[in-house]
Amino acid sequence: MRAHVVTFGCQMNEYDTHAIQSELAGEGYSFVDDFREADLVLVNTCAVRGKPVEKAQTLLGELRKEKRRRRGLTVGLMGCLAQLPEGRRMGKRLGVDIMLGPGAITEIVPAIRRGKFQSFEFKRELQFYTPPPPTGAVTAHLTIMRGCNHRCTYCVVPATRGPEVSRPVEDIINEARALKESGVFEVTLLGQNVNSYGMAPGTGARRALMPGYPSFAELLRMVGRVGIPRVRFVTSHPINFDDGIIEAIADTPAVCRYIHLPVQSGSNRVLKRMAREYTREFYLERVRRVRELLPDATISTDLIAGFPGETDEEFEETLSLYREAGYDLAYMFIYSEREGTPAAIHFTDVPRSVKVERLTRLIELSKEVSLERNRKWIGREVEVLIKGPAEEEGFVQGHTRGNQVALVKGSLAVGIHRVMVRQATPNRLYCSAADALDSLSVNHYVPSGLCQLTSNL
């Protein structure tokens, strides 16, 4: 039997896809790249913005046609979109056979045996589920907790993934050990807010730990001792990103000095309407502490342009925060109204042209700041995890401990290397082997703002 699994969305979905594929492999399935050759097609979906929802809809439409052509094809809708009323309507309309929410992925085997099945439960067994390590992976994900207790007014994730559930620390360490044995060079610990790992229900800065759970800072130190050369984590929520975590990063050599700290907006009024639970000042103080304790750290963020009611002045505050924080990298989005979220229910959307104009300005600024930041690395030696050949001929590609994309001249093997940074663009460091004295000659490759713009709308 042959299966084809499509994944949209974040790293948590990629991790879940691996878990689903492990279960299917145990049932004797092999995997094919073309859905026309598959007996079972599963679409693991994302609903965070309108665009991934449209993509899922288009694919499910194609699959409905394929089902008409070919009897015996089973189609499953899984993941965040499946959990929402919007997704369930879509699945029904497009003749989907199996629907499983992100909390019900462990039911995939009974589902395919029955052929028609749906479940939107958050199964307790998922908390104790450990997938086997993937084969031949250079980097791997490791979900340490699921769900989210926050209520950011624009966001569907609390509805799609339910409340926070932390996995037992022993399972996490065992999974990390298995990944080390399988030869991975880098593991990324995953959660919507990894900083609140092990904390009792609730939100806010001061939450007690549940009995038997270490804090996230302690967990970082523990995973750091497993022996995987690089440990990273996403995502941090500023309200729980405390000094203990920054100290754990500083003390643990395996933990990369890369911090993804989503801010969303630089305006206190907008942050309040988003229910982000912190102020601009609180956030910038966190960034100041990182710079103080980890001077070489790279910091990235997520930003939303054109949240409902955002004025020109409020948007200017996002631009000024951007400069002040000096981000190395940013993921920028225009606000996308999502059915059922408090923002969609209570607030009126900003006109699309205004949102697009603001996103364009944000992208321009990000390119300027990233170029400044990346240029500071010229002439310095950095560690790169090479993953394979780059699109640009004559280069191999990887990423630094700071998560910058690095292109290295020559043909280095997959793995960790020390290289010298020779040139920088807003989104690339061009490097050569550390002992090569020649400077590098490259055609600067700077994707146009438009490329990024279209992918973020």
Binding interface with ligand SAH (CB under 6 A): 48-49, 154-155, 157, 192-193, 235, 237, 262, 264, 302, 304, 333, 335-336, 338
202 or 227: CB nearest ligand SF4: 202
3-state secondary structure of 421: strand
b vs e for 159-174, b when ≥16 Cβ sit within 10 Å of the residue's Cβ? bbbbebebbebeebee
3-state secondary structure of 299: strand
The alpha carbon of residue 386 and the mean position of all alpha carbons in its chain are separated, in whole angstroms, by 20
Q: How far is the CB of 141 from ligand SF4 (least distance, A)?
A: 17
The window from 51-59, 150-158, 370-378, 430-438 that contacts ligand SF4 (CB under 6 A) reads: 150-158
When binding is defined by CB under 6 A, the residue of 141, 237, 373, 401 that contacts ligand SF4 is 237
Report the run of H or E that residue 331 belongs to, with start and end: strand 329-334
Give yes or no for residue 9 binding ligand F3S (CB under 6 A): yes
Q: Across-strand partners of 137? A: none
The window from 35-43, 156-164, 193-201, 374-382 that contacts ligand F3S (CB under 6 A) reads: 156-164
Q: How far is the CB of 306 from ligand F3S (least distance, A)?
A: 19
Q: Residue 12 touches which of ligand SAH, ligand SF4, ligand F3S, none (CB < 5 to 8 A by kind)?
A: ligand F3S
Q: How far is the CB of 146 from ligand SF4 (least distance, A)?
A: 11
Residues 33-52 within binding reach of ligand F3S (CB under 6 A): 46-48
When binding is defined by CB under 6 A, the residue of 80, 287, 390, 406 that contacts ligand F3S is 80
Strand ranges for 138-257 from DSSP E:
139-143, 145-146, 165-166, 186-190, 230-234
Residue 203 one-letter amino acid? T
Give yes or no for residue 13 binding ligand SF4 (CB under 6 A): no
Query: What is the chain's Cα-based Rg?
Result: 22
Q: How far is the CB of 158 from ligand SF4 (least distance, A)?
A: 5
Would you call the peptide bond into 160 cis, given omega within 30 degrees of 0 as the criterion? Answer: no
336 or 400: CB nearest ligand F3S: 336
Q: What are the structure tokens assigned to 410, written together? A: 């020559």
First-to-last alpha carbon distance for the chain, in angstroms, is 38
Q: Residue 336 touches which of ligand SF4, ligand SAH, ligand F3S, none (CB < 5 to 8 A by kind)?
A: ligand SAH
Report the run of H or E that residue 3 belongs to, with start and end: strand 2-7
Separation of alpha carbons 83 and 198, rounded Å: 25
Chain residues that interact with ligand F3S, rule: CB under 6 A: 9-10, 12-13, 46-48, 79-80, 156-157, 160-161
